[in-house]
Amino acid sequence: MSASSSLGELPRGPLEHFEERIEAELENEIFSAADGATVIPVVAAAADERELFRVRMLLEHKPRRVAVRFRRASRQRARHLTGQLERIASVLRISTQDVHLVLDEGFVDHVDGRRVGELVDVALTVGEHHELASGSVLSGSTPPTRVNYETHVRERPEVHLWRAVNDGCDRELGYGDYGVVHPEPPPDTKGYGWPNPYLHYTIPDGTLSIARRILGRGRGGRPPIGAAEQHFLEVADELVHHPEFAGADFSWGDRYIHNCRSSPTPAVGTSSKWISMATSHHLAHLSRRRDAPSGPASAR
């Protein structure tokens, strides 16, 4: 977000605006403001002084812990990270015990020993120098594009990566992923707004992908009116009758997928709606620890 944007000009940055909105909604819903902080800021390990100063102002408004994101861990950068954590804690005037470290590996399509070893070394090196609030491994395996429209199940390497790193560490690392979307946002190009209906549905250790291709598109790739809704209803119906469907009561998303098939006016024609339903199911899946490893570590 640029400094010239309306939110970017706020003294505490855009988080100030979002936190005030969240607190106002909570007060309206439960008739009292939240006691603790509702927003946890996430900063890059290489964040500059300007960004850290805004976060510090947010902390002065209401004390809270901070998450530090470290991308693409490597042995060579492990020592440098310990210094970055000290710098961030000093500028924010907090202890490293109030820092959540997120080791962000971005997109992963497989797990290899080198990557696991690098992450383990970074976690152990940081642990020797700092007592942190927590540490976690973040990655995602959702491909940027679909190569076919056949129903299939793919593994989730992010789960296997997290398990392998935990096996090599002397303390538990939490699990993090990018949900049902690719780690990198899609390019903002014209004509991208009419994708083919699909769902990436999380199952234990894998993802069930169901999609339909819209034929007969018009100028600019625009689908016929109502085609996106019609084709998504086919996706929803196939999922509901699939053995991996968790049931309508599993999450808001599952209930919406189940009920939209009988709705006279199903509002299911946009990718944002498909992603929200799949994300709701994904979060419910994680909250039930369906991917918890057999060892002592488990998803937070």
Domain range summary for the chain, segments of one domain joined by +: 40-142+155-185, 188-300
Q: What is the pLDDT of residues 242-283, one digit of tens each?
A: 999 999 999 999 999 999 999 999 999 999 999 999 999 999
Q: What is the pLDDT of residues 54-90, one digit of tens each?
A: 899 889 888 999 999 999 888 788 889 999 999 999 9
Residue 45 phi, psi (nearest 5): -60, -25
Residue type, 56: R
Nearest to 133, CA basis, from 90, 95, 175:
95
Handedness of CA 262, 267, 273, 274 (dihedral sign): positive
What's the token pair of residue 46?
Answer: 């290489």
Q: Between these two residues, 164 and 75, which has the higher pLDDT value?
A: 164
- Pairwise CA distance, residues 252 & 72, whole Å: 34
CATH architecture of 40-142+155-185: Alpha-Beta Barrel (3.20)
HEC sequence for the chain:
CCCCCCCCCCCCCHHHHHHHHHHHHHHHHHCCCCCCCCCCCEEECCCCHHHHHHHHHHHHHCCCCEEEEEECCCHHHHHHHHHHHHHHHHHHCCCHHHEEEEEEEEECCCCCHHHHHHHHHHHHHHHHHCCCCEEEEEEECCCCCCCCCCCEEEECHHHHHHHHHHHHCCCCCEEEECCCCCCCCCCCCCCCCCCCCEEEEEECCEEEEEECCCCCCCHHHCCCCCHHHHHHHHHHHHHHCCCCCCCCCCCHHHHHHHHHCCCCCCCCCCHHHHHHHHHHHHHHHHHCCCCCCCCCCCCC
**Average pLDDT of the segment spanning 171-189:** 88
What's the token pair of residue 136?
Answer: 């976690």
Instruction: Report the range of poorest mean pLDDT among 18-22, 37-41, 179-183, 279-283.
Output: 18-22
- Residues 6+ away with beta carbon under 8 Å from 86: 96, 130
Q: What is the pTM of this model?
A: 0.85
Q: Between these two residues, 288 and 3, which has the higher pLDDT value?
A: 288
